[in-house]
Amino acid sequence: MTSFAGWQMPLRYGSETAEHLAVRRAAGLFDLSHMGEIAVTGPDAGAALDYALTGQASAVPPGRARYTMICAEDGGVLDDLVVYRRGKQEFLVIANASNTPTVFGALTDRAAGYDAAVVDATQDYALIAVQGPAAAGIVAPLAQLEPAGLELGAMKYYAGAFGTVAGREAWVARTGYTGEDGFELYCRPEDAEHVWTALAGGGSGAGLVPAGLAARDTLRLEAGMPLYGNELGPDVTPFEAGLGRVVKFDKPGEFVGREALAARASSGPSRHLAGLTIASRRIARHGHPVLVDAQTCGTVTSGAPSPTLGVPIAMAYLDRPAASLAGADLFVGIRGEAVPAHLTDLPFYSRRR
């Protein structure tokens, strides 16, 4: 167990490599109840979110979700979010645990003047995720969705529906943070143990392998997914992270950070997120310098051994486009040693669809 954003979280249940590979080969079971849930409801809920976020929440159909960001006036990222539209006037915003108070405060301030209510509903939800290519087949026997007849396997990626899992009420979404197919199950805290036990093998459950934070981190790193505090933060705009697609300049009206983000889109990013494979068993970690011609040209943001690829990998911000470094001899400074590295396209791993 480890302290994480005010929670005690499982770092690993046994072998983090075995947990990682279980997700890649079949499926793993995650307790993600530390994530923040913020409900935004009312006639102007969509409009309020359009103003508060970089995306266009009002254009999301009920039963679907979008990945988006909330930025400061200067364009810096306050958090990256998933927004579910659960009804015409009902949205659920999922924030990173450490950023939930910041996101809730910003949404509350930005919704002022709109006919919309913003409520921190984190204590109303536990979150259990089943991730991996076998996820649909594992969850389907335990799930019943609304409307009746909606099949879990037919649910689109980044969609969700109300229903039950193991007989307990839940919001069931086909979303995740591992680069695999999977489902995130939002249930009442008092129902979480029952749902977890059913999925983990109690009764007619499928005997899923529980997976901790360490596997979650290596899975998302292989999938090239950014982590707030590493690849994202208040000193980074979505464009540095290669995620300018989440900024919807064509939506009607103003939104917070629009002017600064438009300027950055016009001038181009000041840094460029790239992938690295390390030609050694040495592990590049957050903060290690990336070197070319003995000069620092970037900084590692995340690094770990890749159980899927069998080599250490890393993401790093470079001070020039990766294409301009093609053919150059790159190194990462690891404890005073210049370790050879190679530029690699992101993501490192992409599942076959």
Q: How far is CA 305 from the centre of its chain?
A: 20
Instruction: Give the pLDDT score at 149.
Output: 82
pLDDT tens column, 49-85:
999 999 999 999 999 999 999 999 999 999 999 999 9
pLDDT tens column, 136-189:
999 999 999 998 888 999 999 999 999 999 999 999 999 999 999 999 999 999
Instruction: Give the pLDDT score at 203.
Output: 43
Instruction: Give the pLDDT score at 353.
Output: 55
Tokens of 85: 């539209």
pLDDT tens column, 97-111:
999 999 999 999 999
pLDDT band at 207 (very low <50, low <70, confident <90, very high): low
pLDDT tens column, 295-318:
999 999 999 999 999 999 999 999
Q: Does domain 2-218 have CATH number 2.30.130.10?
A: no
pLDDT at position 323 over 90:
no
Distance of CA 129 to CAs 74, 108, 246, 268, Å? 34, 28, 24, 37
Kindly list the domain boundaries of the chain, sorted by start residue: 2-218, 271-353
Q: Report the side by side order of strands in the sheet with 36-41.
A: 64-71, 77-87, 90-95, 36-41, 117-120
Architecture of domain 271-353: Beta Barrel (2.40)
pLDDT tens column, 256-271:
999 999 999 999 998 9
Tokens of 180: 């695999």
Residue 229 burial by Cβ neighbours in a 10 Å radius (0-12, 13-18, 19+): middle
pLDDT band at 206 (very low <50, low <70, confident <90, very high): low
Instruction: Give the pLDDT score at 69.
Output: 98
Q: Determine the average pLDDT of the residues in 187-199.
A: 97
Look up the pTM and report it. 0.96
Distance of CA 172 to CAs 103, 143, 283, 294, 351, Å? 23, 9, 37, 51, 22
Q: Determine the average pLDDT of the residues in 222-240.
A: 98
